[in-house]
């Protein structure tokens, strides 16, 4: 699935240079569930952005299913994000004036999916996360756990092969955290997804098949 070779990402911040990733070589097989942990500022978000085709490395190569992402132009890279990769953000990133269904439909607009088909697929995605009866609710009318389910449905509606989750339980209480993790694990098993989760929560990380730790831009497997 993913192959990263000597990936380095350097940022310029005013008068100093920050190396967020340094010579990262990593393989993530198709269908694996991976948790990424590490201290704040260690490079977790940067690594997730690389895997999500949201950013490019300063040097090195990233391949997804043999396709060299680092060699693609912006349009083709956007097409990969639009079809192959679903991303769940910690802050939900829902549009407050749109219903749950309309929020999920936004993921299909760039693909120019017809309106009727968008609506059908959005409803099906919401049903798959247990929100079939909340399709017409605004985000402000939903609990934190329900909003995260909408965000997951929005990522899934594209029918991606990869699901990336950035602190998906970070804003939730312990009971809701466990419910969301059970949902993600069920989707991973049932759909054969490659699931990659960035988390500070060791209870979440222990549920993964594989744990990676990143510190000062260096990535290692946790035994």
Is 33 a member of any domain? no
Write down the pLDDT at residue 15.
Answer: 82
70 vs 135, 175, 201, CA distance in Å? 38, 40, 31
Is 105 a member of any domain? yes
Whole-structure pTM value: 0.92
Question: How many distinct structural domains can be found in the chain?
Answer: 1
Q: Please, which pLDDT band fits residue 49 given cuts at 50, 70 and 90?
A: very high
Q: Please, which pLDDT band fits residue 220 given cuts at 50, 70 and 90?
A: very high
Q: What is the chain's mean pLDDT, rounded?
A: 93
Is 14 a member of any domain? no
- The parent domain of residue 125 ranges over 98-158
Is 113 a member of any domain? yes
Q: Please, which pLDDT band fits residue 212 given cuts at 50, 70 and 90?
A: very high
Is 81 a member of any domain? no
Would the pLDDT of 170 be above 90? no
Is 148 a member of any domain? yes
Would the pLDDT of 223 be above 80? no
Per-residue pLDDT tens for 111-135?
889 999 999 999 999 999 999 999 9
State mean pLDDT over 105-116.
Answer: 92
Is 109 a member of any domain? yes
């Amino acid at each position: 699935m993913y192959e990263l070779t000597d990936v380095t990402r350097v940022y310029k911040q005013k008068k100093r240079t920050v190396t967020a990733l340094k010579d990262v070589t990593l393989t993530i097989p198709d269908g694996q569930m991976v948790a990424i942990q590490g201290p704040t500022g260690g490079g977790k978000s940067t690594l997730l952005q690389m895997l999500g085709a949201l950013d490019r490395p300063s040097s090195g190569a990233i391949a997804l299913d043999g396709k060299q992402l680092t060699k693609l132009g912006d349009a083709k890279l956007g097409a990969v994000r639009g079809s192959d990769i679903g991303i769940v953000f910690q802050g939900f990133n829902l549009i407050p004036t749109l219903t749950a269904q309309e929020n999920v439909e936004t993921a299909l607009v760039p693909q120019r999916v017809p309106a009727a088909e968008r609506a059908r697929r959005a409803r099906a995605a919401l049903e798959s996360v247990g929100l079939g009866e909340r399709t017409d609710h605004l985000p402000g009318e939903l609990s934190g756990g329900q909003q995260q389910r909408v965000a997951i449905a929005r990522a899934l509606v594209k029918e991606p092969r990869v699901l990336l989750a950035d602190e998906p339980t970070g804003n939730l209480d312990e009971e809701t955290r466990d419910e969301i993790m059970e949902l993600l694990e069920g989707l991973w098993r049932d759909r054969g997804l490659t699931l990659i989760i960035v988390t500070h929560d060791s209870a979440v990380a222990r549920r993964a098949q594989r744990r990676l730790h990143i510190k000062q831009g260096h990535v290692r497997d946790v035994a």
